[in-house]
C-alpha cells in the first residue's frame, strides 16, 4: 500500500494458482476541489489462463445519519422491475426509483437478488442514493457496462450493488473506474446559479461623456417566460371585467404565449367544412399588438380520440388530401404570424394518421406547411419526457424523423406528468439527452403540481398554506434547472388563473385574482433575481459597464433614451451615446 496527499494505492499479486496469476491495483483518490471519490482498478493477467469473472461494489452509504425509510430514495436511469425476498416489504418500486413506506427496524433487511430493467450499458450504471429531507446524496457511476444488479438494505443503509463482467486474456489488462459524486441541495443550487450567470448574462457597456448619470432598465427577457392563452377571453364568453383582468395579468407576467385550444383542428373545424378562424384571429391580433410571440398548438393531433369522427369516415385518398388542405390553408392564412407550430401532437403516444397513411405522413405534413409558409418553424411536442419515463421512445422517434428528412425546428417537451414534486435529476438528464440533437428545446406545457398529483384526481382540492409554500419552491426549482440549461429557449405554463386552468391548483392567481405564493415566487425570480435594473456614473474613460440578463433594455444617458436588444448570440453589446 502506498499513500500520498489525496490518494491511496493498493496492490495485490497472485502467482500461479491453478494456472491463474494476476497483478491487481486499486487507487482510491480524492480529486482536488471536487466533492468526489474515485476508485480506479487495473487487473493485469500474468498467468496462463484467461480470467473470466465479475465484480461488484457494496455501496454502503449513510447520508446525514438518516435511517432507511421514507426520506431515502434510490434513483435509477431505467424503469425498475424485480421480485423482493418477502411479501410484507417496506421497500417499493416507483418507476425509476426505490422508496420506503416506513423506517426499517433494527436487524430488518430487504433484498432483491436480481434487480431488472437495465440494459448492459455504461449509461445504466448510474445510481443515486438521496436523503430527501436534507437534499444531500451521492451519484454512483462506472465507465463499464452494468451486467447485473443486486439490491440490499438494512435499517441504516440502502445499497444498490452493480456488477460488471471481466474478461482478461493472458498478457492483457482490464481497467474500470467507479466515481462517487457527493452533493448537497446548496451545492446543486450553486452549480445552477453559476450556469445561469454564464448562459443568460453578458456584458453591457455604455459609452458616454465622463461623469454622466446612466440608468439601465430591463424591459423584457429574451428567454420565453410564457403561458397558454385560453379561448374564453377572446371569444366573448368571459365577462368584461374578468377579461380585462386576465389580459392585464398575462402582460404583467409573461412575454410569450401558446394557443391552449384555439388552433386545434377539432376546435377550429368540429363539423366538416365549418372552419372557425375568428378566435385564432382575435388571439393573434392581441398578441401581435402586444409583441408577444405566439406558438400555434397544434396543426394536427393524431391521438385517435382527438381525431374528428368525420375524418375517420374518409378513405385514405380523401383523408390525405384533407390533411394537405388543412396544413396549406392554415400556413398560408397565418404566414409569418406564428412564432412556431406544434406539427403533430404527442406522436409517441398514438398516431392515427400514420397508422392510416404510412410512416412518411409526418414529412408530408411538414412539406404542406412549408408550401403555405416556407419559414414556418415546426416543433415536435410530447409528454412524460422530463420524468424520464418516455425519454428513450422520444429520442428514437426524433432520430427516425430526422433520418426521414423531416424539417424539425425544435423539440417541445411538456411538463405535466410529475406529481406534487418532480425529479430534479430526471429533468436535467432528459434535457441533456435531447440537447444532443442540437435543436432548441421548449418546455411547452407546464403545471406545478402536475397530473400525477392528488389535485388532478380531485380538482376541487385546495392547498393548505404549507402546501402552497412547497408548491412555490417546486416551481422555482423547475424554472432554475431549465433556465440554467443551454438548449432551453423557454418555459410555457399551461394556465395561470384558477377559473381558466385545466388544473386549478397549479394557478398563480386564485378565482378572486389574489396572488398565490407561487405567483409571488415566480415574480421574485423572473422579475427580481433574474432582472437587471441598475444605474451609475460614466468613468473618466467614457464607459460604464455591467453584467445584464439578455433581453430588451431602456438605457438613458443625459436625458437621452435608447431602446436596445441585448441578444444571447452576442455576449457583449456597446451602446454609444457619443454619436
- Look at residues 439, 425, 341 and name the one whose alpha carbon lies nearest to residue 394: 439
- Let me know whether 441 and 489 are in one domain: yes
> Are 145 and 287 members of one domain?
no
DSSP one-letter code for 504? G
Helical residues (DSSP H) of 112-239, grouped into ranges = 185-200
Whether residues 236 and 284 share a domain: the answer is yes
Q: Mind spelling out the 3-state secondary structure of 120-145?
A: CCCCCCEEEEEECCCCCEEEEEECCC
Q: How many CB atoms lie within 10 A of CB 446?
A: 25
Supply angle C-alpha 545, 547, 548, rounded to 5: 115
Decide if pLDDT at 571 tops 90: no
Q: Is the pLDDT of residue 454 over 80?
A: yes
Could you read off the pLDDT of 314-360 as tens digits, one per residue? 999 999 999 999 999 999 999 999 999 999 999 999 999 999 999 99
Regarding whether 229 and 145 lie in a shared domain, the answer is no
Looking at the structure, tell me whether residues 232 and 338 fall in a common domain: yes
Quote the pLDDT of residue 100. 96
pLDDT tens, position by position, 461-476: 999 999 999 999 999 9
Please indicate, yes or no, whether residues 113 and 242 belong to a single structural domain of this protein: no
Cell numbers linked to 318:
380523401
DSSP 8-state assignment for residue 338: S
> The domain spanning residue 436 has which CATH number?
3.20.20.80
Looking at the fold, whether 176 and 241 belong to one and the same domain comes out as no
61 part of a folded domain: yes
* Residue 7 clears pLDDT 90, i.e. is over it: yes
Give the whole-angstrom CA distance, residue 243 versus residue 223: 26
Cell (9 digits) for 87: 411479501
User: How far from each other are the two terminal CA atoms of the chain, in whole angstroms?
Assistant: 71
The number of angstroms, rounded, from the C-alpha of 435 to the middle of its chain's C-alpha atoms is 10
Residues 145, 245 within the same domain: no
CA-wise closest residue to 162 among 131, 139, 140, 129: 140
Other beta carbons less than 10 A from residue 539's beta carbon: 11
What CA–CA distance (Å, rounded) separates 368 from 359? 16
125 and 268 fall within a common domain? no
What confidence score (pLDDT) does residue 579 get? 83
Residue 528 placed within a domain: no
* Domain CATH for 109: 2.70.98.10
pLDDT of residue 510: 97
CA 155 to centroid of chain Cα atoms: 34
What pLDDT is stored for residue 203 in this prediction?
Answer: 95
At which of 491, 517, 543 does a domain end?
517
Interior CA angle at 66 toward 63 and 68, to 5°? Answer: 100
557 assigned to some structural domain: no
| DSSP letter for each residue of 264-310 | SHHHH-SSTT----HHHHHHHHHHHHTT--EEE--SEE-SGGGS-HH
In a domain, 479, yes or no: yes
Helix (H) or strand (E) holding 179: strand 173-183
According to the model, what pLDDT value does residue 16 have?
A: 81
What is the extent of the structural domain holding 65?
Answer: 2-183
Helix 465-483 × helix 424-434 angle, to 10°: 30
Q: Is residue 334 part of a domain?
A: yes
Angle at 441 between CA 438 and CA 444, to 5 degrees: 160
Which residue, 517, 534, 558, sits at the end of a domain? 517
State the helix-helix crossing angle for 465-483 and 185-200, rounded to 10 degrees.
Answer: 50
In the chain, the number of structural domains is 2
Q: How far is Cα 226 from Cα 491, in angstroms, rounded to an integer?
A: 6
In the block, which residue shows the cell 471481466? 166
pTM score over 0.85: yes
Q: Are 289 and 372 in a shared domain?
A: yes
Question: What does each C-alpha distance from 555 to 188, 190, 536, 572, 578 come to in angstroms?
Answer: 35, 31, 12, 15, 14
Amino acid at each position: 500500500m502506498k499513500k500520498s496527499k489525496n490518494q491511496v494505492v493498493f496492490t495485490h499479486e497472485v502467482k500461479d494458482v491453478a494456472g491463474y496469476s494476476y497483478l491487481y491495483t486499486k487507487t482510491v483518490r480524492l480529486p482536488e476541489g471536487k466533492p468526489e471519490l474515485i476508485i480506479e482498478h487495473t487487473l493485469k493477467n500474468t498467468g496462463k489462463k484467461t480470467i473470466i469473472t465479475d465484480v461488484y461494489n457494496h455501496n454502503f452509504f449513510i447520508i446525514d445519519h438518516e435511517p432507511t425509510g421514507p426520506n431515502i430514495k434510490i434513483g435509477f436511469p431505467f424503469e425498475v422491475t424485480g421480485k423482493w425476498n418477502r411479501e410484507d416489504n417496506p421497500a417499493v418500486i416507483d418507476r425509476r426509483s426505490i422508496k420506503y413506506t416506513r423506517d426499517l427496524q433494527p436487524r430488518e433487511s430487504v433484498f432483491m437478488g436480481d434487480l431488472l430493467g437495465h440494459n448492459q450499458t455504461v449509461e445504466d450504471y448510474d445510481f443515486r442514493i438521496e436523503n430527501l429531507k436534507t437534499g444531500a446524496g451521492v451519484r454512483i457511476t462506472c465507465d463499464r457496462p452494468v451486467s447485473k444488479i443486486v439490491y440490499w438494505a438494512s435499517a441504516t443503509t440502502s445499497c444498490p450493488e452493480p456488477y460488471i463482467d471481466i474478461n482478461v486474456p493472458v498478457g492483457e489488462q482490464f481497467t474500470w473506474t467507479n466515481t462517487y459524486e457527493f452533493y448537497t441541495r446548496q451545492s446543486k443550487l450553486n452549480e445552477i446559479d453559476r450556469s445561469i450567470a454564464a448562459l443568460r448574462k453578458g456584458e453591457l457597456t455604455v459609452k458616454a461623456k465622463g461623469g454622466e448619470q446612466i440608468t439601465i432598465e430591463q424591459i423584457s427577457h429574451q428567454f420565453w417566460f410564457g403561458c397558454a392563452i385560453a379561448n374564453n377571453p377572446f371569444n366573448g364568453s368571459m365577462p368584461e371585467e374578468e377579461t380585462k383582468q386576465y389580459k392585464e395579468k398575462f402582460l404583467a407576467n409573461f412575454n410569450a404565449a401558446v394557443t391552449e385550444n384555439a388552433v386545434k383542428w377539432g376546435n377550429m373545424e368540429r363539423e366538416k367544412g365549418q372552419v372557425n378562424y375568428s378566435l385564432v384571429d382575435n388571439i393573434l391580433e392581441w398578441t401581435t399588438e402586444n409583441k408577444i410571440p405566439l406558438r400555434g398548438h397544434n396543426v394536427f393531433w393524431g391521438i385517435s380520440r382527438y381525431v374528428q369522427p368525420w375524418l375517420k369516415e374518409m378513405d385514405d385518398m380523401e383523408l390525405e388530401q384533407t390533411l394537405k388542405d388543412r396544413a396549406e390553408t392554415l400556413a398560408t392564412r397565418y404566414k409569418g404570424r406564428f412564432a412556431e407550430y406544434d406539427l403533430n401532437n404527442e406522436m409517441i403516444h398514438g398516431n392515427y394518421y400514420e397508422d392510416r397513411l404510412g410512416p412518411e405522413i409526418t414529412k408530408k405534413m411538414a412539406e404542406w406547411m412549408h408550401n403555405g409558409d416556407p419559414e414556418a418553424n415546426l416543433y415536435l411536442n410530447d409528454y412524460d419526457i422530463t420524468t424520464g419515463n418516455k425519454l428513450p421512445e422520444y429520442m428514437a422517434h426524433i432520430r427516425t424523423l430526422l433520418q426521414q428528412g423531416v424539417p424539425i425546428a425544435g423539440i417541445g417537451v411538456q411538463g405535466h406528468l410529475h406529481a406534487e414534486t418532480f425529479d430534479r435529476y430526471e429533468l436535467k438528464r432528459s434535457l441533456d439527452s435531447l440537447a444532443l440533437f442540437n435543436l432548441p428545446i421548449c418546455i411547452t406545457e407546464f403545471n406545478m403540481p402536475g397530473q400525477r398529483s392528488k389535485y388532478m384526481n380531485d380538482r376541487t382540492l385546495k392547498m393548505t398554506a404549507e402546501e402552497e409554500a412547497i408548491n412555490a419552491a417546486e416551481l422555482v426549482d423547475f424554472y432554475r434547472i431549465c433556465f440554467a440549461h443551454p438548449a432551453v429557449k423557454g418555459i410555457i405554463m399551461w394556465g395561470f388563473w384558477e377559473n381558466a386552468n385545466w388544473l386549478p391548483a397549479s394557478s398563480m392567481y386564485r378565482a378572486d385574482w389574489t396572488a398565490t405564493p407561487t405567483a409571488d415566487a415566480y415574480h421574485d425570480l423572473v422579475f427580481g433575481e433574474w432582472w437587471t435594473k441598475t444605474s451609475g456614473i460614466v468613468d473618466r474613460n467614457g464607459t460604464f459597464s455591467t453584467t445584464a440578463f439578455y433581453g430588451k433594455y431602456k438605457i438613458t444617458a443625459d436625458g437621452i433614451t435608447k431602446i436596445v436588444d441585448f441578444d444571447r448570440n452576442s455576449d457583449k453589446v456597446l451602446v454609444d451615446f457619443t454619436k
